[in-house]
């Protein structure tokens, strides 16, 4: 076994590798960009080295810089994590040339599976079933459109070198193909430096089921059963579980055998995942699955496999890379219970899952205990920036049954508190408590089909408005003289004092609130409704009773307001400033600004253009995803404030136009 390992990655996977490596007595070496100078993985490693500016292509993707750090730090091995250089064959070759162990497969195996078209051809030769489609070299748009017609709509356009949903577009009709192809090629070129695509038949009720495989250099190969990753948005996984619900034993055996055959076909080494699409239109069947792609690395969702097998897959990686045999044979492995993983993202589900950036003013994750695991690479006070994936943490729960694991997850999400940016906590809580999901009636279209019930309303429950008003009453009383509000000597009096306004805004809208102390409680009035509230505020926790209903709410003060956190959801209130002037409102007209920092990929209008509602104006790339800014009403473009290739900050003017007269 080598004695030191450099982790060529960041965030939660870097922390995950460091944890196991340290437990094995290895010296751990971290690398970091400007944005990550104070990151958790830097603090947890035995030593850390700066590798460049914040953009990934100037730091974490600089193979020569990372290899130089390996040389200077005397690292004997490099763990690439996932993403970045993890599936870069040239980097694997460079490690070997530099005399550093690459903790992953050989460069030849990466190349064999790195391009989806070549991988599918290889799998066909190995008698692994593949999805019907065109996987050839001809990239002429007209030819590809013809192939799509022959395959039959709907089809999927997929980046040849892709992954994580980037460069992937579903096309339902011929007249949509050209635009979808251009967008997929552009996104693929940006993400992978390769704009080639393939076209496949879209399976009507697909389940995304993958098999974890492992192989060593002694000719041994095993699978560690399946994971169901069907719940996705924008083709990116949101909820994963193991084993797959309702998986027949003969199908599990068939998929496992096919996955091992795929690994052996390329003389694989280390951890890999064979991803399949299963046709669930008539239920899961042993003859109803197709090879989709192989990920030649550890997967984000590997913890659910660890939870049901009791194995540490990072330890397996390190041992195999050191030349040891696999720690277990196929007969040694078995499924114990059920595990579920959710990905906490910095994003706003109510705004089409738009990424969110900002400082984590509050980050309270569930305590790790039996059946609950938390993998994260950020801490309270850290910043989620525009430069990297917006994942905050992974929550993983285990129980003897699937229902038990889901109940554990619901509780874990309920106690999660995030403030300072938008997060998908409440959205995830809705998923794991959804009756259709609990019943196992799932496919990759589940989230889109259930969006109306899964995405929490942007409205605010009236009892929580009363809780917010109570917070202001208690805060104001404590601020007045440092004592309990019941002892305050200002206008907030017991026994019939006058009613006082409680000025608050939510989502930019003023809320008409007032409070009146009566009989040891507060009467909160809003829009004709009245609530009786009482409670106490201590150390960022507000314990309240509103009309007899108990609320335990997290509270954090922000500049100009505060955030209430309740059952995984966050509600941000502001205190209106009477001297504040809305400059944008004064400016008039329709102004579209960058919702977060990013790069301008396309500018689709110019001054003088007439636009209709829904017309695309600008394509912005932020946090590894393309976002299209659309007109909300008809009008004429007056100003275009950006050009293609510009890097913009949040709030930068993109387009301004004059609305058409009604």
Residue with tokens 């080639």: 196
The C-alpha atoms of residue 303 and residue 397 are separated, in whole angstroms, by 10
Residues near 193 by beta carbon (within 8 Å), at least 6 away in sequence? 161
Token output for 658: 């004059």
**CA distance between the termini of the chain:** 75
297 is catalytic: yes
Label the pairing between strands 77-79 and 101-102. parallel
Q: Is 580 helix (H, G, I), strand (E, B) or coil?
A: coil
Distance CA 617, CA 649 (A): 17
CA atoms within 13 A on the CB side of 317: 30
Q: Which one of 10, 233, 252, 297 is the catalytic residue? A: 297
Instruction: Quote the crossing angle between the two packed helices 177-192 and 141-151, to the nearest 10°.
Output: 110
Backbone angles phi, psi at 168, to 5 degrees: -120, 130
Alpha carbons 459 and 597: distance in angstroms, whole number: 27
Is residue 344 within 8 Å of residue 314, measured between CB atoms? Answer: no
Beta strand 616-622 with 598-603: parallel, antiparallel or unpaired? antiparallel
371 and 408 Cβ atoms separated by less than 8 Å:
yes
Give dist(CA 31, CA 10) in Å, integer.
8
The whole-angstrom separation of Cα 497 and Cα 373 is 51
**CB distance 63 to 6 below 8 Å:** no
For residues 553 and 544, give the distance between their C-alpha atoms in angstroms, rounded to a whole number.
8
Strand ranges of the sheet holding 155-159, from the earlier edge strand across to the other edge: 133-134, 197-201, 155-159, 169-171
For the annotated catalytic residues, the residue numbers are 297
């Amino acid at each position: 076994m080598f004695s030191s390992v450099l982790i060529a990655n960041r965030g939660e996977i870097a922390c995950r590798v460091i944890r196991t490596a340290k437990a094995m007595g290895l010296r751990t070496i971290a690398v970091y960009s400007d944005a990550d100078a104070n990151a958790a993985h830097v603090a947890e490693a035995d030593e850390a080295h700066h590798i460049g500016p914040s953009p990934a292509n100037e730091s974490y993707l600089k193979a020569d810089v990372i290899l130089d750090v390996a040389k200077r730090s005397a690292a004997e091995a490099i763990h690439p994590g996932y993403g970045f250089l993890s599936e870069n064959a040239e980097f694997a070759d460079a490690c070997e040339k530099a005399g550093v162990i690459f903790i992953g497969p050989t460069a030849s195996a990466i190349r064999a599976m790195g391009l989806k078209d070549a991988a599918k051809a290889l799998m066909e030769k190995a008698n692994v079933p593949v999805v019907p489609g065109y996987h050839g070299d001809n990239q002429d748009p007209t030819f590809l459109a013809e192939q799509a017609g022959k395959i039959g709509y709907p089809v999927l356009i997929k980046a040849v070198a892709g992954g994580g949903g980037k460069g992937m577009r579903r096309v339902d009709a011929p007249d949509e193909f050209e635009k979808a192809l251009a967008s997929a090629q552009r996104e693929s070129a940006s993400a992978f430096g390769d704009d080639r695509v393939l076209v496949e038949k879209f399976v009507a009720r697909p389940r995304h089921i993958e098999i974890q495989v492992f192989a060593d250099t002694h000719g041994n190969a095993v699978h560690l059963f399946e994971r169901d990753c069907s719940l996705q948005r924008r083709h990116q996984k949101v909820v994963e579980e193991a084993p797959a619900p309702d998986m027949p034993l003969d199908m599990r055996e068939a998929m496992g055998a096919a996955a091992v055959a795929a690994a052996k076909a390329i003389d694989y080494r280390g951890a890999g995942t064979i991803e399949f699409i299963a046709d669930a239109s008539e239920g899961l069947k042993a003859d109803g699955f197709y090879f989709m792609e192989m990920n030649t690395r550890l997967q984000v969702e590997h913890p659910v496999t660890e939870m049901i097998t009791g194995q540490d897959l990072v330890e397996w990686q390190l041992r195999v890379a050191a030349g040891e045999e696999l720690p277990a044979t196929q007969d040694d492995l078995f499924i114990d219970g059920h595990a579920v993983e959710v990905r906490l993202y910095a994003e706003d589900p109510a705004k089409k899952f738009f990424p969110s950036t900002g400082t984590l003013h509050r980050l309270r994750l569930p305590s790790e205990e039996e059946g609950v695991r938390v993998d994260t690479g950020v801490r309270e006070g850290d910043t989620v920036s525009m430069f990297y994936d917006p994942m905050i943490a992974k929550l993983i729960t285990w129980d003897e049954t699937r229902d038990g694991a889901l109940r554990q997850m619901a509780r874990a999400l309920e106690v999660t508190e995030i403030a300072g940016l938008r997060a998908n906590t409440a959205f995830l809580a809705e998923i794991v408590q959804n009756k259709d999901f609990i019943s196992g009636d799932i496919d990759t279209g589940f989230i889109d089909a259930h969006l109306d019930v899964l995405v929490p309303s942007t409205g605010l429950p009236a009892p929580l408005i009363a809780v917010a008003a109570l917070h202001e009453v208690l805060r104001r009383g404590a601020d007045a003289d440092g004592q309990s509000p019941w002892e305050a000597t200002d206008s907030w009096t017991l026994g019939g004092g006058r009613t006082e306004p409680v000025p608050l805004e939510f989502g930019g809208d003023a809320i008409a609130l007032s409070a009146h102390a009566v009989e040891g409680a507060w009467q909160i009035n809003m829009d004709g409704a009245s609530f009786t509230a009482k409670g106490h505020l201590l150390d960022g926790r507000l314990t309240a009773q509103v009309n007899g209903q108990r609320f335990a709410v997290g509270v954090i003060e922000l500049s100009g307001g505060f955030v209430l956190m309740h059952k995984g959801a966050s509600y941000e209130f502001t205190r209106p400033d009477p001297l504040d002037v809305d400059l944008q409102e004064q400016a008039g007209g329709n102004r579209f600004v960058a919702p977060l920092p990013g790069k301008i990929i396309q500018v689709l209008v110019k001054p003088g253009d007439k636009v209709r509602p829904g017309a695309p104006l600008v394509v912005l790339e932020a946090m590894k995803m393309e976002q299209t800014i659309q007109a909300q009403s008809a009008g004429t473009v007056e100003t275009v404030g950006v050009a293609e290739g510009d890097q913009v900050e949040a709030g930068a003017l993109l387009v301004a136009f004059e609305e058409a007269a009604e």
